[in-house]
Amino acid sequence: MSKTVNYTPEQTEIIKGMYLGVADEGEARRDEVVKEIAAMYGKSVRSVIAKLSRMDVYIAKKHVAKDGQPAIRKDAAAARLREITGLPLVSAENLTKTDLKALIARIEELREGQSDEDSDLA
């Protein structure tokens, strides 16, 4: 029983060349090329991404939150809160991520305001 080949060696080289040719042009352009490759070979976009990943050339998309900001993990937000407050805050992970982010933003906002007041006194 022989293995089914999804991409010939020639196709693999073409795919790699096309993708690497736009690797520095941004996420949107890379997505376009992946769609072009998929249409060109009658494959799904997922198939092309999987092939590029196996070749170690695929550049994964940046994960962003619903508000468009870079995604932050809850444990990282709790660690940041401990860092800026200097307190152990053992139960910080029990807060929601939304509350953690809001608290961090408020503390940083207050610190900036305090820095502005300090410079006004000088």
* Domain boundaries, given as residue ranges, for the chain: 9-54, 74-121
CB atoms near residue 33 (< 10 Å): 19
Q: What is the pLDDT of residues 8-61, one digit of tens each?
A: 999 999 999 999 999 999 999 999 999 999 999 999 999 999 999 999 999 998
In this prediction the pTM is: 0.59
CA 31, 37, 43, 49 torsion-angle sign? negative
CB 70 within 8 A of CB 62: yes
Bridge partners (DSSP) of residue 70 are 64
CA 112 to chain centroid: 28
CA–CA dist 78, 100 (Å, integer)? 7
